[in-house]
Structure 1
Amino acid sequence: MLFQRDKWLQYRTLQSVPLLAERLPETQLLEKESLTNMLLHYPGLVLKPCNGSYGRDIVFIERQRSNTYRIQNENHTITLLNTDQLLDWLDKSYKDRTYVVQQRLHLARIRNKPFDLRIMVQRKKEAPSKWKVTGAYAKVASRGYLVTNVASRTLPALKALQLARVGGRTLLVQAERTALLAAKQLAEHNPDLRQVGFDIGIDQKARIWIIEGNYRPDLRPFRHLKDSSMYRRILWYQKH
């Protein structure tokens, strides 16, 4: 069964739970007023298509000391001189799609490359069935990219946290519990939901953030991990 891939709908669903709301970066539908307000509150923003794009068409906006704006899409950057130029550029470039504007997270880094965690949670077909964490790994961004969808490599989740010096097993367990709680909340609105691949960010202060949940996550990276048990477990849950 296909589920609606709408980042704005998912954000509002998760935001209704206080324990999850504090794990969500502030997010608004992209409009002139919302963008202007967010620019006043945050030095960095991210624009994402509501309907998902596998990491493509994501735009990073960084306000610089001279009040100019550095714009990055994939590994391409431009500089705009003021807010009016920024709004005009966005209107010309993205007016035909619905976007959300989101507080930019300063993710923990490994060798100066940001990474996040993919945490896979699943449940069996019979009801009621408990959600289980069936796998996790870290996605490290390629050089010059800010999105981890363009990954230079995948690492075991615990190893990534240790390499970034932000935490260890306790932090990983907390991230997994966050993913489980988020899956339960999404399932309240999608009773047939049986799997979610969550992108979980860990910032440079070791704070856990829910970036988004993917209903049709790419399983190929699990096959590249030395520990093949996670991939086998995920396939078992998909069948049962």
Structure 2
Amino acid sequence: MKNQHATRNKWLKYKFMKTKRLLPYLPETRIMTRASFWNLLGKYRHILIKPIRGSRGKGIIQVSAIGNNQYGIHFENRRITIRGKENTYRYLKRKIKSSKYRTQSGYIVQRRIPRPTVNGRPFDIRAIVQRPKSFKSWVVTGKIAKIAGKGYIVSNISRSNGTVMPLEIAIKKSSLKKPSIKILISKVNKVAILTARRLESFFKGHRIYGLDIVLDQNGHVWIIEANLFPILSHFRKLKDKTMYRRIMAYKAGRKIK
């Protein structure tokens, strides 16, 4: 497969997805510098710092401007407040430098999309999109809600000790205001297919993507990240194994309902 260098590079995948059709679904993202950090924080008040080649939620830091020249830092399940811009940026640089998740590829800074919650815990969506070699069209073969563990910002199940739930049930139980589940699911499917079609032209021959998607409180769909080697065990955790069987069948080149 071509473009091996980009398979785990968040920045390269973001740049490639940043087209007219997908731009409305992409949170603003930049290479982290002092200027880009303060620009996005001033613009959105809540941002995420991520290792460019990180995975499984490792090394992600949330920064919030909370007023009175104070900034909230949320890493793993720990929170601190720092006063002053220079103190804040200096702390973050030290944090990154000393992190075991540090990468030579650097970091990105990204607008944080406020996520809906289930029982007070934020959740996002993992959508699996597949197209076996003998099929003409991409198909969303599975969608699941990943609910963050208590006190965590990342929804990676093993990292935050979180839980999984069928997406429809998560939406019903969520803080989303009077959601039309059918419409929301349709939006997720549409954006997932658009994303796979775009990535297909870059990652030639790749036939499965795991998309991390967020619904904001207004029900707008946001693509947070595209994974070329998604973990599929989340779907095995559900009581109903229909989606898991479908995903594995498609992976083997067979189509089942």
Aligned amino acid, residue 170 of structure 2: A
Is this contact kept in 2: 1:140–1:151, CA < 8 A? no
Aligned to 1:104: 112
Report deviation, 1:57. 0.5
State which drifts further: 27-36 or 159-168.
159-168
Q: How does 1:1-240 map to 2 (within 5 A)?
A: 4-16=7-19, 18-95=20-97, 97=103, 98-126=106-134, 129-149=136-156, 150-164=160-174, 166=176, 167=179, 168-240=181-253
2: distance between equivalents of 1:4 and 1:156? Answer: 28
Which residues of structure 1 form unaligned runs of 5+?
none
Aligned amino acid, residue 54 of structure 1: R
1: distance between equivalents of 2:182 and 2:142? Answer: 14
Which residues of structure 2 form unaligned runs of 5+?
none
Aligned amino acid, residue 130 of structure 1: S
Report deviation, 1:93. 2.4
- Describe the superposition over 1:12-43 as per-residue Cα deviations: whole angstroms up to 9, x where unpaired: 11112x23101111100001111121122111
Q: How many equivalent residue pairs?
A: 238
* Partner SS, residue 244 of structure 2: helix
State which drifts further: 88-97 or 108-117.
88-97
The alignment's TM-score, normalised by the length of structure 2, stands at: 0.88
2: distance between equivalents of 1:11 and 1:101? Answer: 12
Is this contact kept in 2: 1:29–1:99, CA < 8 A? yes
Tell me the percent identity. 35
- Describe the superposition over 1:166-194 as per-residue Cα deviations: whole angstroms up to 9, x where unpaired: 32121111111101110110111111111
* Partner SS, residue 22 of structure 1: helix
- After superposition, the CA RMSD in angstroms is 1.5
Report deviation, 1:165. 5.0
2: distance between equivalents of 1:164 and 1:102? Answer: 24
* Partner SS, residue 133 of structure 2: coil
- Describe the superposition over 1:101-157 as per-residue Cα deviations: whole angstroms up to 9, x where unpaired: 00111101111110011110001123x631101111101111101111125211111
Sort the Cα spacing of 1:42 and 1:165 in 2 relative to 1 into closer, same or farther, 3 A: closer
- Describe the superposition over 1:69-104 as per-residue Cα deviations: whole angstroms up to 9, x where unpaired: 110111012221111112212222224531110011
2: distance between equivalents of 1:165 and 1:69? Answer: 26
State which drifts further: 201-210 or 160-169.
160-169
Is this contact kept in 2: 1:120–1:196, CA < 8 A? yes
* Partner SS, residue 25 of structure 2: coil
State which drifts further: 66-75 or 128-137.
128-137
Sort the Cα spacing of 1:157 and 1:184 in 2 relative to 1 into closer, same or farther, 3 A: same
2: distance between equivalents of 1:192 and 1:82? Answer: 49
